[in-house]
């Protein structure tokens, strides 16, 4: 069924000739799996045994394997054409990645039978060498067209700009790009050079068209907004299968962030854009029908919730249990208790004050306050999930803080702190991970103002008294080593005075703080005011 947002002219253009079409392609897709090898709960954390017994689990690779094979098998048996795609960010987000560094992700993707994958920003979390090790373990193409890897000893020649799949006797071209701000959000290093996404796609599409490929899909890791820009700006792309922004699209659910597919006008053409949230909770199923000349004439489909109605494959599930064995003791160790849910969702922690942000920032500040530290800043993108009320396990803490970041202390002027806050709120419209969660600070921001001039009324807590931030004064500050070294755009901290980046792991610090103050009562106190 075609999305309602199509105008009548576009609808007629897209549907005309469906009866004469001779080629339909089914695209099964996921994005932003983030190492959710095991099933997840409603907070996107690893599902507990109790939740599993209550049929409250979603996703996980055993369930994903079942659904992919069920759909692919049924469609192929009916003579249909199917490909399975991943739009990036298999890495980082659970103890499975912390322990095995991509080996499990590679194993499971091989078992499921992916046809291609886009490089996500978190594939660089352990540098080019970490991605290179993963590439050596998979047989399908991993692509990203806007990366110049000619200077990279680890990756040169290993990531393709694009690829062509032969599906049912037709050539399906796949082009790809990765968000250029990956230099801020991960660790690609100086030898990975990023090129403009749209310019890169135009060049790759032109190269495929010169080879006679007329059906082209962009498999991207740039986010939903940028995907729509790409759909509107790049001739020759028939559909965009994306990731990065964890956007939930649906053809019917009123809680959706947008329609599945989202139809974008490009001249006389209409281009479908899809994404399937994250964490294996959904499987996207996009149906594309082309005429004999390779023109797209129909697009439909939906995201499929992988809930308890989907039975996990028993062999995959047994393998996951085997892999989980060595880390089970750490995961299940109870470290604290919380009196209520601690909200760590993207929707709040990248937009406004959130309970998880308050917890982690306060934990950082508490750990180093006796060193003369008075302010703490934690990037919202470093908070990966929520924690439910009751006993808190170390596994839950590590799901929130999976990056193995360490505490970094340094000195910063008030002017640098103000610049940091401005950076933090500069991309709030996009839900960027740089949003600042703070302790020892209060501030107001107005997203209606231009980026760089949104922050006002910055106050610092001095001995229990709130006083205005002094731009000329030096303050003791704490953050994580990723932010201190310029991650998420915090470049003003790179050359900070008296910087020490080798403190304890942030997850350990947070667990210790929870135990120290427990039972922990999460709360908001108005430290961040959004106009």
8-320 folds as Purple Acid Phosphatase; chain A, domain 2 (3.60.21)
Task: Please enumerate in sequence order all residues whose Cβ is within 8 A of that of 504, keeping only pairs 6 or more positions apart, or say none.
Answer: 367, 406, 407
Helices 224-233 and 197-210: crossing angle, nearest 10°? 50
What are the pLDDT tens digits along the chain (531 aa)?
333 333 333 444 444 444 455 899 999 999 999 999 999 998 888 888 899 999 999 999 999 999 999 999 999 999 999 999 999 999 988 889 988 999 999 999 999 999 999 999 999 999 999 999 999 999 999 999 999 999 999 999 999 999 999 999 999 999 999 999 899 888 899 999 999 999 999 999 999 999 999 999 999 999 999 999 999 999 999 999 999 999 999 999 999 999 999 999 999 999 999 999 999 999 999 999 999 999 999 999 999 999 999 999 999 999 999 999 988 888 889 999 999 999 999 999 999 999 999 999 999 999 999 999 999 999 999 999 999 999 999 999 999 998 878 899 999 999 999 999 999 999 999 999 999 999 999 999 999 999 999 999 999 999 999 999 999 999 999 999 999 999 999 999 999 999 988 888 899 999 999 999 989 999 999 999 999
Q: Report residue 422: phi and psi, to 5°.
A: -60, -45
Query: Does this model's pTM top 0.85?
Result: no
Distance of alpha carbon 41 from alpha carbon 388, whole angstroms: 10
pLDDT tens, position by position, 7-18: 333 444 444 444
Among 23, 27, 87, 56, residue whose Cα is nearest residue 302: 27
Q: Are 62 and 308 in contact (CB under 8 A)?
A: no
- Report the alpha-carbon distance of residue 300 to residue 291 in Å, rounded: 15
Name 142's bridge partners: 117
Q: Which two tokens stand for residue 114?
A: 């992916």
CA distances 371 to 269, 364, 365, 494, Å, are 61, 12, 10, 20
pLDDT of residue 184: 82
Domain boundaries, the chain: 8-320, 333-530
* pLDDT for res 253: 96
- Residue 236's nearest CA partner among 262, 209, 197, 260 is 209
Q: What is the DSSP string of 17-80?
A: TGGG--EEEEEEEE---TT--S-B-TTSSBPPHHHHHTT--B--HHHHHHHHHHHHHHHHHTT-
Question: How far is Cα 110 from Cα 104, in angstroms, rounded to an integer?
Answer: 10
CATH 3.90.780.10 fits 333-530, yes or no: yes
Residue 60 has what pLDDT?
98
Question: Whole-angstrom distance between the N-terminal and C-terminal Cα of the chain?
Answer: 40
What does the pLDDT read at residue 20? 54
Q: What are 338-387's pLDDT values in tens digits?
A: 999 999 999 999 999 999 999 999 999 999 999 999 999 999 999 999 99
What was the pLDDT predicted at 273?
A: 98
């Amino acid at each position: 069924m075609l999305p309602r947002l199509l105008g009548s002219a576009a609808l007629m253009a897209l549907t005309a000739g469906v009866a004469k079409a001779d080629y339909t392609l089914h695209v099964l897709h996921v994005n932003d799996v983030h190492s959710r090898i095991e099933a997840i709960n409603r907070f996107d954390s690893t599902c507990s045994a109790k939740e599993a017994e209550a049929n409250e689990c979603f996703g996980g690779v055993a369930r994903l394997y079942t659904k992919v094979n069920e759909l692919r098998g049924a469609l192929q048996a009916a003579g249909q054409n199917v490909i399975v795609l991943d739009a990036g960010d298999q890495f980082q987000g659970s103890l499975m990645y912390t322990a095995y560094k991509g080996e499990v992700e590679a194993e499971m993707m091989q078992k499921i039978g992916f046809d291609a994958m886009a490089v996500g920003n978190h594939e660089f979390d352990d540098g080019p060498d970490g991605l290179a090790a993963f590439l050596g373990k998979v047989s399908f193409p991993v692509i990203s067209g806007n990366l110049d890897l000619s200077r990279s000893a680890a990756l040169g020649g290993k990531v393709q700009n694009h690829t062509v799949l032969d599906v049912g006797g037709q050539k399906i071209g796949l082009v790809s790009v990765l968000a250029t701000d990956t230099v801020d959000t991960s660790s690609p290093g100086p030898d990975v050079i990023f090129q403009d996404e749209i310019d890169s796609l135009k060049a790759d599409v032109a190269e495929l068209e010169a080879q006679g490929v007329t059906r082209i899909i962009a498999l991207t890791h740039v986010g939903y907004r940028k995907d729509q820009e790409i759909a509107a700006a790049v001739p020759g792309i028939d559909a965009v299968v994306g990731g990065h922004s964890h956007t939930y699209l649906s053809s019917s659910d009123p809680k959706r962030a947008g329609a599945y597919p989202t139809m974008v006008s490009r001249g006389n053409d209409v281009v479908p854009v899809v994404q399937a949230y994250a964490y294996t909770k959904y499987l996207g199923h996009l149906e594309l029908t082309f005429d004999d000349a390779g023109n797209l004439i129909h697009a439909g489909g939906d995201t499929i919730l992988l809930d308890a109605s989907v039975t996990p494959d028993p062999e995959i599930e047994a393998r996951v249990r085997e892999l989980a064995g060595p880390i089970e003791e750490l995961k299940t160790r109870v470290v604290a208790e919380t009196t209520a849910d601690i909200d760590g969702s993207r929707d709040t922690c990248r937009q406004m004050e959130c309970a998880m942000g308050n917890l982690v920032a306060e934990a950082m500040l508490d750990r180093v306050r006796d060193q003369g530290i008075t302010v703490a800043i934690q990037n919202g993108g470093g908070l990966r999930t929520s924690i439910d009320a009751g006993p808190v396990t170390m596994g839950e803490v590590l799901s929130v803080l999976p990056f193995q970041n360490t505490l970094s202390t340094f000195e910063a002027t008030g002017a640098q702190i103000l610049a940091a806050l401005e950076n933090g709120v500069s991309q709030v419209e996009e839900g960027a991970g740089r949003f600042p969660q703070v302790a020892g600070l209060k501030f107001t921001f107005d997203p209606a103002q231009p980026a760089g001039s949104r922050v006002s009324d910055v106050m610092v807590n001095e001995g229990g008294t709130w006083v205005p931030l002094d731009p000329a004064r030096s303050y003791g500050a704490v953050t994580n080593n990723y932010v201190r070294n310029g991650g998420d755009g915090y470049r003003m901290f790179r050359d900070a005075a008296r910087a020490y980046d080798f403190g304890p792991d942030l997850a350990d610090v947070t667990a210790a703080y929870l135990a120290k103050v427990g039972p922990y009562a999460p709360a908001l106190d108005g430290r961040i005011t959004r106009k």
